[in-house]
Amino acid sequence: MGSDLYESISKICTEEEIKIGKVTALGAVTQAAVAYYDQKKKVYKPITFKKHLEILNCSGNVSLKDGKPFVHMHATFADGRGNVFGGHLTSGTLVFACELTIEELEGRALDRKPDEITGLNLWDKTSVLV
């Protein structure tokens, strides 16, 4: 309880040297922090929900960025009235209770590289070619 969801997942992936994987989580948080990517300005805009929320879905992947495990996740949350919120999971989501699965995959690691068109760090196309 009280752990930062994104930071905890990243720490596990780094400690376990997971280079490629799939991540899912369910549970509840005391606050949520996500971001929305402004495609025109090419920047993430942070959004914080300072209230108790259920994690409806939290899923993503693990690949490499600068040679280190990098976690990319999106999450949806619901409040006590059934309103839904979500976005790109960031640091600042504080866990009340969480069931987390990290599935390490076999195969070539996927590398993230800056993409000039989108401004995002996307999988390098040479790393996804077989």
Domain count across the chain: 1
Q: What is the pLDDT of residue 91?
A: 98
Domain that holds residue 63: 5-128
Q: Kindly tell me if the per-residue pLDDT of 126 is higher than 80.
A: no
Q: Kindly tell me if the per-residue pLDDT of 67 is higher than 60.
A: yes
Q: What is the pLDDT of residue 127?
A: 62
Q: CB pairs under 8 A, 24+ apart, for 71-77? A: 71/6, 71/9, 71/10, 71/13, 71/23, 73/6, 73/9, 73/23, 73/25, 74/34, 75/25, 75/32, 75/34, 77/29, 77/32, 77/49, 77/53
Report, as an integer, the average pLDDT of 101-129.
Answer: 89
Report, as an integer, the average pLDDT of 110-115.
Answer: 94
* CATH classification at residue 84: 3.30.1330.80
Condensed to tens digits (0 to 9), the pLDDT of residues 37-53 reads: 999 999 999 999 999 99
Q: Kindly tell me if the per-residue pLDDT of 129 is higher than 60.
A: no
Condensed to tens digits (0 to 9), the pLDDT of residues 6-63 reads: 999 999 999 999 999 999 999 999 999 999 999 999 999 999 999 999 999 999 999 9
